[in-house]
Structure 1
Amino acid sequence: MAIITISREMGTGAYHVAREVAKRLKHTLVDGNKIIELAPQFGLDPEILKRVDEKPPVYITAEDRAHAAHLNTIEIILLECAKKGNVILYGRGSQDLLAGAQNVLKIRFVAPFEDRVESLSEREWIDPDLARELIRKSDHQRGGFIHFYFNRDWHDPLGYDLVFNSARMSQSAIIESIVAAAKDPRLKDGDDETDRLIDEMILCKKVETELLRSNAIENIHFRISVKQKAVKLSGHVHSENEKRETLRIAAAVEGVAKIDDDLQIVNYKSYKE
């Protein structure tokens, strides 16, 4: 059955729908709580996870590189869950992370701003002005995350298969629509290809994560791609030592069978502000 991804604006009631759909389809709901539960298995501290989750890095300082490495680990968790099948991936850019997969049903929840304010303030028993501020910041952060990390407009409807205005449709109608869509036999056509794609993405993310964690590599100005178990590195590094360390780190990652080296050395003097 299809992997389901859910993108949501705050205050649309998407989480309740996701839980009900998971029950109906007997899917695992991979939300923030599930990621926190799985985080220690991937060496990710739950407290760090809360600080970086759905927040874009800027790749300037060592702390930013650590932030990016933690985000990669979250993506590895999502991909490992997707590989098992029968899952709903809730938020975290899952629809873009799995953009090349054919058996993914991509859902988006929207609603007018004031409807979301009313819904959030009633649900959380908070002042409407506070709800407005929380929603405004949430939209900015999540939209910025998608734009920075996946170079896509969060609001672009072509990034999704179904877009629901939760102010116009009842939750029961939305649930029935998603359950029916998830059972579309055409979504099963890409199962085998999706398995291969996910395996390659996981290996690519593992290599990138180890490189981000290294103090010997100043910046990742090169492309990492994987075909089967062969990792190709193309682009440029800044010294012979950096190239040597890059190749060594990549080759040491579990699952890498071969390294294709297409790295060029470009010397430069870093500019200090």
Structure 2
Amino acid sequence: MQRRIITISREFGSGGRFIGEEVAKKLGIAYYDKNIISQIAEESGLSPEYIQESAELSPKKGLFAYAFAGRDITGKSIEDIVYEAQRKVILELAEKESCVIVGRNADFILQDRDDVLNVFIHGNMPEKTQRISRLYNVSEQEAVKMMADVDKRRMINYNFYTEQRWGKASNYTLCLNSSQLGYERCEEIIMECVEE
């Protein structure tokens, strides 16, 4: 089965977003990341700013944040509404065209399709710290804090909505260490797997 959809989950600072963008360019297919925020906002009726902050990251740093989130009479929280809107948009995009989708639990949302390649990009702490320091113009100490915060919030969101463990190898087709392989080699491996 030819794989036509690539999902990229990634640790903060591993270059996963950059790798996904390059793969999409080289394959000549659509690339979805922050550019789907407006669609999710439209679907959910919430502001794009709120979606940008909440669609992939947990609102707080603990799993209980979801359990105790304010819920309406149907039992849904705002986070649930965001997740459902995001899920609908991702399913529609996958149906419409070949594409690369970064983050947003897309690997789980598209798990019933057999034309999906799920990739998890991770890296070594020194390289990720340097990359974040450079990209966000912060100290290495601040970069380490940012990394811990973003990854923890991604993990909580993923674990809550998928009932799986974020970053666990068995949830993905490929797990690549961008620090050891380099971005270019990661891109080549992903493309080789898609073109098989």
Using structure 1 for the length normalisation, give the TM-score.
0.63
Aligned partners of 1:4 and 1:107 also within 8 Å: yes
Q: Does 1:84 align with 2:85?
A: no
Quick one: distance in 1 between partners of 2:31 and 2:14? 18
Give the greater-gyration-radius structure (CA). Answer: 1
Which whole-Å CA distance do the structure 1 matches of 2:131 and 2:154 have between them? 19
CA distance in 2, matches of 1:132, 1:158: 27
User: 1:51-200 residue pairs with structure 2 within 5 A?
Assistant: 51-56=53-58, 57-58=66-67, 60-62=69-71, 65-184=77-196
Determine if contact 1:44/1:73 at 8 Å carries over to the other structure: no
AA of the residue aligned to 1:21 = V
State how many pairs are aligned. 183
User: 1:38 corresponds to which letter in structure 2?
Assistant: Q
Q: RMSD value over aligned CA atoms?
A: 1.8
Per-residue CA deviations over 1:109-166 (Å, capped at 9, x if unaligned) read 0112232112211222211111010000111111111111111111210111111101
Partner Cα distance (1:132, 1:40) in 2 = 31
Q: Distance in 1 between matches of 2:159 and 2:6?
A: 21
Checking the alignment, whether the CA contact within 8 Å between 2:41 and 2:51 is kept in structure 1 is: no
> Residue 45 of structure 1 corresponds to which residue in structure 2?
47
Measured after TM superposition, the shift of residue 40 of structure 1 is 5.2
Structure 2 distance, partners of 1:48, 1:130, is 24
Aligned residue for 2:16?
Answer: 14
Deviation string 1:31-64 (CA, Å, 9 cap, x unpaired) is 02x1124245424421231242113433642376
Structure 2: segments with no counterpart, 5+ residues: 59-65
Contact 1:107 1:163 survives alignment (8 Å) = yes
Residue pairs, 1:211-230, within 5 angstroms: none
Residue identity (%): 24
What's the offset of the Cα at 1:27? 1.3
Structure 1 Cα separation of the partners of residues 26 and 69 of structure 2: 45
Give deviations 1:172-202, integer Å, cap 9, x for gaps. Answer: 1111111111112xxxxxxxxxxxxxxxxxx
In 1, distance between residues paired with 2:172 and 2:71?
A: 35
Which runs of 5 or more residues in structure 1 are unaligned? 185-273
Greater relative contact order (Cα 8 A, min sep 6): structure 1 or 2? 2
Whether the aligned pair in 2 keeps the contact of 1:59 and 1:65 (CA below 8 Å) is no
- Counterpart of 1:4? 6
Which structure dedicates a bigger proportion of its chain to strand?
Answer: 1
